[in-house]
Amino acid sequence: MTLTSELIALGQYLAGEFDNREQAIADPAWYVHLHLWQRPVPVQLFSEPSLTLFAEQANILHLDRPYRPRIMQLRQLLNGDSPPQLEVQYFMLKDPNQYRGAGRQPHLLQQLNPAQVELLPGCTLTVSQKRLTDGTYHFAASLPSGARCCFLYQGETRQVDLGFEASPTELFSFDKGIDPNTGKALWGAILGPFHFTKRHDFSGELVGLVR
């Protein structure tokens, strides 16, 4: 199955190094200055046609200590004669320390294989797209209503509410940590999305991965 132009555009928009410098300067009480890397994975992890990104982020003061490593599979679902539905499925790494820093050292991702990633049930974003007048797209991704994205970390259940909006040079992240017992937001985009600007474009690394 050939990847649609919409899925390829989504991969291109998400692939890059981002930061929210302007937002952090304007409102430092609520928005930490973050660097976000979303790097195309150069090996085939999944049998179905898709694009795969490795993501991690770091505080600007500690770029050598990235955290929240994750795998994002961008895929399309056929639905009869309707346009394919785009989805983003999240996976966790079984040994995150092995790939820590891969956002800046992409050669580490050459070692990835399917046995080293684990599906995160309930962590599937539905993506809608709108074609703009200049031929680009605006993408919006969110969890379906009622979905709970949960996983075990250090023996405790953690829950996150995931979502983003993406255009060619900007990324708005709605990710929040949620108390699984009360539903209260604990960290992340509590007062509104993190507004990231793409500083370095990694979309060229998708060449050869698109089939």
Euclidean distance between CA atoms 103 and 91, whole angstroms: 16
Q: What is the pLDDT of residue 211?
A: 56
Range of the domain at 180: 5-206
pTM: 0.94
pLDDT of 24-79, one tens digit each? 999 999 999 999 999 999 999 998 889 999 999 999 999 999 999 999 999 998 77
Is 211 a member of any domain?
no
Number of domains in the chain: 1
pLDDT of 121-163, one tens digit each? 999 999 999 999 999 999 999 999 988 998 877 777 888 999 9
Q: Residue 160 sits in a domain of what CATH number?
A: 2.40.128.590
The widest CA-to-CA distance across the chain, in whole angstroms, is 50
Strands 34-40 and 16-19: antiparallel
pLDDT of 163-205, one tens digit each? 999 999 999 999 998 988 888 898 999 999 999 999 999 999 9
Is 54 a member of any domain?
yes
Is 148 a member of any domain?
yes
